[in-house]
Amino acid sequence: MRRWLGLLLPLIFVLVPSTRPRCAEDEEKADVQVVVTATRLEDRPATTAEIPASITVVDREAIERSGARTIQDLLSEEAGVILYDQVGNDVEKTFDLRGFSGGRGVAVFLDGARLNDPRNNTVALEQVPLSAVERIEITRGASAALAGGGSEAGVVRIVTRRGASPEAAVSVAAGTYDTLRLDGSYGQDLGRVDVFGAVTYDETDGFRINAGGEQTRANATAGIDLGGERRLALSVLWSDLSYGNPGALTLAEFDADPSSNVFNVLDQSDRRTAQAALNFQGPVGAGFSLATNLSYRDESNQALSTGRSAAAFGGFFLDADGGTWSGTAQATRAFSAGPGSNVLTFGFEGLSGDADSLGYFTPPDSSGTYDPASPSTVNTTGASSGALFAQDAWSPSERWTIVAGARADRYRVTYDEAFPVPSNSDARTFSELSFRGGVTWRPSKSFDLHVAVADAFLPPTAEQLFAFPGFFSNPDLVAQDARSYEIGARTAGTRGSVDAAVFWIDTRDEIVFDPSAPPFGQNVNAGSTRRRGVELTLKGQLARRVHGFTTLTFTDAEFTNGDDDGRTIPLVPRYRAALGVDAGLPAGFAIRVDGLYVSDQVLDNDTANAQAELEAYTVVNLRLAWERSLARAASSRAGRLGAFAEVRNALDEIYATRGIFALGSTFVTPAPGRRYVLGVTWRL
């Protein structure tokens, strides 16, 4: 960690906002505020200075500079992020925030439609093509009063691009492990109608045996201006992923050859997802504006799991298909009542979805085969929810904003087992009332402080409750509840900006997996936990055409009662530090250098903290890009030709992002070593 501090301290010094006298141009730059979504749906957006929460916005320019292929990789360097690879292919990574792990603490929305799987609250962020994304908003802290269950750590909003007049881009890249990447996008503004579409294709042999595969992703958006500041838009997402799941290695296997695959040479997942979202936004009379979202999500998933016991017990093949309808209607009205002004928002949200699953135990002598006519289990899981929410943002003066909100949720989980034991069928209903409140104070246009408190909850899923009767599931689980406290500050100067937040999250009845419960472990309510931390983000201009960023995160996550009182929650690094510099060079060249440090982590399942921790790691990436106009005249539309070269994990760090204690041994999931990618681009 000391070597990182040596790099970070100089950057912190230069990024702290300058106190030199400002000229008019400096004042104009400092007054620019980032506009973000202030309510459940995008309507009457506010600036970050008006919202009592820690917020990060990653815009289109930052996405292009990063060279990332997935949203997980793009956000890996942001403050508060928890990221690890559970399946071992470096694609399907788990994303979370503020000391929550397992993908359970974040609610994710794409153009207003929820991406979380209603069966287990997880979200596959890799299915969204980054070439289609205009911006990503991360709102940290409990957001149940806006987003509902599963948002204890925060909310991620993904907004796709609109068409311009016209714009197009093509990219072809190849690299280590026979990697091939193809990207294409096109957008156009046709007056009252705008369209944009993006398609990406990725293929690789993988950095380990059975880590390879391919994925095609596509997103299209069409919008129409209805006049009077009203807009109707349809966005469609499609993803087809097929990758191997090489899984974990023992420590001895990892030390001998981290690229090996000893047992999981057959494991794989094939997942196809299609989602459509229809959005309307605009005034509807009497001072009200209306925002609505109606979406449908269809997903099919086939997965084969074998592992180390396949020779004795065989494997398991899952074939699942599901569909989910969801809708949100939100009304907003600005009015005056006493001093200042108010913005009142209220609405309704509903969801209904189910998944049909067929499970097959595969034979020990041929663990990769199964008989489609003889399923071992046939079941349907369902989830439905309804919610009412309201929020008022009162600004008694230009310097103050007071926000108060509430949300009432009713959530029902069903499980219907047709075979082999129909009596296992069951259902549970959970109800929750959540509150949110906060204050922001802006003593100047470039500085603001906020204080916030909020409730959040996470109901148990069908998988945790019923889907594995006798194995893992526990129908007696109750919903876990959390209360989040936060104090934060934001400041912007002529040289850069600083965002800082201190948070405290108390959770009751947290759902964890207890490997000691007979016969093979069980989901249980563990009792109380506490997550405390500090997040710091610094961004700014180091010199002409040179920009830098630093994010620092400290997280103290521990159990606060029971046998594990005072022990650290697994898979939560205490320290994370990221550093990056982007520099524009002569002749159209640009270079980017970024690095990430992640400290030691307690192993998954090791709630007793009895095992050696997963070791810390440091990853450094390099990217060199060049771009030049092909136009010979100012009126030419020949576009711009570019090329880039990337080195990921340039120091060839040998590390693992996840470790688990199971069957009396420690297993780790290796990450890829040094790899190269070269590509060419053209854009209009």
SS3 label, residue 370 = coil
pLDDT in tens, 55-105: 999 999 999 988 899 999 999 999 999 999 999 999 999 999 999 988 788
Q: What is the pLDDT of residue 23?
A: 42
Which residue is it, tokens 């209360």? 483
Give the count of domains, the chain: 1
Q: What is the pLDDT of residue 103?
A: 77
Sequence-ordered strand ranges (E) for 420-466? 426-444, 447-458
pLDDT beyond 80 at 566: yes
Q: How far apart are CA 628 and CA 636, in angstroms?
A: 14
Question: What is the longest distance spanned by two Cα atoms in the chain?
Answer: 78
SS3 label, residue 206 = coil
Q: What is the pLDDT of residue 308?
A: 81
Query: Region 355-369: what's the mean pLDDT?
Result: 91
Q: How far apart are CA 300 and CA 406, in angstroms?
A: 35
Structural domain of residue 612, as residue ranges?
A: 2-683
Q: Please give the model's pTM, rounded to 2 decimal places.
A: 0.92
Radius of gyration of the chain (CA): 25
Q: How far apart are CA 582 and CA 386, in angstroms?
A: 46
Q: What is the pLDDT of residue 615?
A: 97
Q: How far apart are CA 74 and CA 658, in angstroms?
A: 19
Confidence of residue 5 (pLDDT cuts 50, 70, 90): very low
Query: Region 7-26: what's the mean pLDDT?
Result: 41
For position 163, which CATH number holds?
Answer: 2.40.170.20
pLDDT in tens, 187-199: 999 999 999 999 9
pLDDT beyond 50 at 332: yes
Q: What is the pLDDT of residue 513?
A: 82
Q: How far apart are CA 443 and CA 428, in angstroms?
A: 49
